[in-house]
Homo-oligomer: A and B are copies of this chain.
Amino acid sequence: MTDRGREWRLRALPRGALAAGDLELVELALPPLADGQVRLRVLRLPMDPAIRMTLASRGDYGAGVAVGAAVRGLVLGRVEASRSSALAVGDIVSGFGTWSDRLVADAAAFSRVALIPDLALSIHTHVLGTSGLAALHGLQDVAGLRPGDRVLVSAAAGGVGSLACQFARLLGASRVVGIAGGAGKCRIAVERYGCDACIDHRAAPDPQALEAALRSALPEGIDVGFENVGGAPLQAALALLRPGARIALCGMIAEYDAAAPAPGPANLWNLIVQRARIEGFRVAPLLADRARVDALLARIEGWLRAGALRYDIDERDGIEAVPQAFAALSSGRHRGRLVVRVAD
């Protein structure tokens, strides 16, 4: 049995939200290791909303997943066997793999994780993993946040958003305002993640109402937007641009379950008026730049050790929990980073 594993395969292209019936858990014999490959015991599978976009023909995000193939996503694992000089048995590694409990892959797709004693393993999927990298890279490298900037973060109580709010403050933002879905998430964004204010987009009947609520929380507008949602929050961010503002486009959750692409914001004209920009980014290509990744993680670790960060990891047990865990992402029934614990 040691050379067998299980993986979640795509049974049908989902319509709307990913449903349990769209996936099947398949047991398989793992192939023997080729030169340069490793076999991993999967420990944690973080659930990223954007995975939904690989399960459709909606643009070439990642490689795209064909029906019958394993769903791909971030993996935190332990090396069980290695034919690579880069990774040794027992190493804890992270990288893009499959939603599985054991897998064989090229060692080059993974990098070693420096564990921190006394901290939960899952932190390397969150604050010290891709959530933290997305938040800090987006604010620093993409949006070029400067001290004094006024910042708007959508999905402010989510995995990446909750960190973006706190990082923005630590980088010197003069005002940080969130957008979140529901009064409970807004309260958490303010009380726990340090937003000056948070606007409940569910309480806004239309984009104009959301814009008006944001304008009262940000009367001087925004220098930086950290956008996770698209749709009405993006249009509101565009309406609030100050001269030279930058929107880092990290995700578009509002789009992921749509049957067809929705029209975009009606106010891109404001990019011209304010000489502003929207710039998209992804973490996967960033991971190839180890020096930058290490610098970003070192900065985050410094804040973490100084006790400056609050974070939440919502763990679900067992590889069988993957479909329900992923569905919880879009329904919003989770808190912070959502991670499936496959093994310890």
Contacts and interface: CB of A to CB of B under 8 A. Distances in A.
Contact of A59 (B61, B273, B275): B273
Interface residues on A, range: 35 or more
A213 interface: no
Nearest to A271: B280
B271 A261 contact: no
Contact of A277 (B234, B255, B278, B285): B278
A249 interface: yes
A263 B261 contact: no
A280 B275 CA distance: 5
Contact of A269 (B252, B263, B269, B273): B252
Number of copies: 2
A211 to B, nearest CB: 12
A272 B285 contact: no
Contacts of A275: 279-282, 285
Interface in A36-70: 50, 53, 58-61
A280 B285 contact: no
- Of the candidates A59, A267, A272, A274, the one having the most CB atoms from chain B within 10 angstroms of its own CB is A272
A77 interface: no
B268 A252 contact: yes
A119 to B, nearest CB: 30
A276 B249 CA distance: 10
Interface of A: 50, 53, 58-61, 230, 234, 243, 249-252, 255, 261-282, 285
